[in-house]
Amino acid sequence: MRSGYGKRLGQVALASAMILGAGGATEVSATPLTPFRYEDQAQRHCPGDKVVWLDFKKGVYYRKGQKLYAQGFDGSFVCQAEARDGLYRRSPLGLR
């Protein structure tokens, strides 16, 4: 008998094969999210875009000047376009 983890892994593999095998109607392409520990690393990765602080736990991003920008342990610096493409939403909190 398989462990719970092994069973779940098998289900994920089966679902992935079904999705890849379906291969027809619509191909979805998303920009990969590249998280960085430091702001300047993210800016070098996307020189033509703004860098935002992405809070993975809350599912929102903060722009520079907002109170929670670069705060907390559950976040990382990313390019704003990548955050938007990843369906993260902008924080409604205002600027300082």
81, part of any domain = yes
Q: Which residues contact 57 (CB under 8 A, 6 or more apart)?
A: 72, 74, 75
**pLDDT tens across the length of the chain (96 residues):** 445 544 444 443 444 444 444 444 455 566 688 999 999 999 999 999 999 999 999 999 999 999 999 998 999 999 999 999 999 999 987 765
16, part of any domain = no
1, part of any domain = no
Domain of 86, in residue numbers: 39-90
Q: Please state the domain count of the chain.
A: 1
34, part of any domain = no
Indicate whether this model's pTM tops 0.85. no
